[in-house]
Structure 1
């Protein structure tokens, strides 16, 4: 039986919450990044992680290494405008990866189902005969509270975050936990836009709740119930990098700095195929 995740009484005070977790022995250790020129192996799935490209993907394209799966964990536009989405779809279509997975971020305004859109967005979508801008993403797989399986790897994507005033916002505590409760326990690679508390989430910007922007309910879901091998996210630009708790590898794949300038490299990892299997077996 799966453990039930309860709301932490300190979840709305992330600094105090993480201090408590650190005293309890919760682990956050630096982890090494693979070299981008590491050869791709037939018995391992090469996964390339990027995030927070903010309309700069065209500039970043030359630095994105080849692989089997590309993950973009949100904020590929600045405002979610139809023109920005069309541009991003064309640019991501230039990348050679067989599978490209995208989740939305807080800057994909208007992407959330039921969310009110601007008159400009509605007019542009009506001209195209569409309801939402994410329907324009024809060159990638768009995940929103959904799991897919590639090469036998179960990958789940969710866009939710606890920062008010943006698309996909849910308040810390019960409301955002309801979204994390949808993540299947058999997930191998989890993609979110927001970081979990204590991993790649240091931010001094006031709208990100002070110096820790991560979500306690997401961390507890990851560590106590789902336990994925990898958790890929972005959102906090200056904390690009990799950490681990000894079970899950946490990847903040944000590529732009706080002024939205391309600054960091993609992060890659290899996921082993089942014994005796090759990529050809999954064609």
Structure 2
């Protein structure tokens, strides 16, 4: 049996490209919005719900600010006219909880998840993480010295060996110039070397990510078929 995956990322409030092919599972690798906002999350959920798929799996990105409660609390500006709603993270997560119930849209926490499709014969494991190296003070950031992806490095939610899919917002930093998907506008590599080492160790069938817009390769195939024994 096979599972058809369709990968999206960094849609930033924009309409999804159309037409998109049908898939069993849609993976959105983060940055649904430019800067959070409940109306923007509602719009993104409506776009996701309109896609033809049995499962829609989503992680936030560094621009989905209010989906990171720690970032939101640390950046509140009390007593100003543009004061952010301190309850927006709870409200935003509630929107996605409702979407899971009504539209099979799952907002994934960092860690490993297992999904079985409705036919009961096709299942897969997926590791998800919205975190990226700190850049510009955005959400879901970690400092350069931190290893979020390996138990040996002290990660609370390491990528397990043998996982089928790894889904992160940011790219790894490759050890070879063969891979260009993490190169920014200035030609610099922006990926995470610790994530690369974790991917080499875990050897997933597929690793999907976004974050570095300049790394997008126009014309590449977005669908992937995973063979399940």
Shared fold (TM-score greater than 0.5)? yes
**Corresponding residue number in structure 2 for 1:159:** 130
CA RMSD of aligned residues (A): 2.2
Aligned to 1:54: 12
Q: 1:141 aligns with which of 78, 88, 106?
A: 106
SS at match of 2:208: strand
Q: Is the aligned partner of 1:237 residue 2:213?
A: yes
* Cα shift readout 1:169-214 (whole Å, capped 9, x = no counterpart): 0011235455485222231100000000024100135xxxx71100
Counterpart CA distance in 1 for 2:11 and 2:19 is: 12
Q: Is the 8 A contact 1:145 1:182 kept in 2?
A: no
The answer to whether the 8 Å contact 1:50/1:71 transfers is yes
Larger RCO, structure (CA 8 Å, separation 6 or more): 1
Distance 1:47 1:89, change over 3 A: same
Residue correspondence of structure 1 range 35-74 to structure 2 within 5 A? 43-56=1-14, 58-60=15-17, 62-74=18-30
> Once superposed, which parts of structure 1, at least 4 consecutive aligned residues long, lie more than 6 Å away?
263-266
Q: 1:220 aligned to 2:197?
A: yes
CA contact (8 A) 1:110 1:132 kept: no
| Contact 2:59–2:169, Cα closer than 8 Å, also in 1 | yes
TM-score normalised by L of structure 1: 0.64
Task: Indicate the structure (1 or 2) with the bigger Cα radius of gyration.
Answer: 1
User: C-alpha distance in 1, partners of 2:169/2:38?
Assistant: 20
* Residues 232-261 of structure 1: per-residue CA shift (max 9 Å, x gap): 0001112124xxxxxxxxxxxxxxxxxxxx
| Structure 2 CA distance for partners of 1:111 and 1:186, relative to 1, 3 Å | same
Contact 1:180 1:221 (8 Å CA) reproduced: no
- 1:99 maps to 55
Partner of 1:116, secondary structure, is helix
Question: What number of residue pairs does the alignment pair up?
Answer: 199
Q: Does 1:192 align with 2:168?
A: yes
Q: Which residue of 2 aligns with 1:24?
A: none
After TM superposition, the score normalised by the length of structure 2 is: 0.78
Gaps of 5+ in 2: 77-82, 116-121
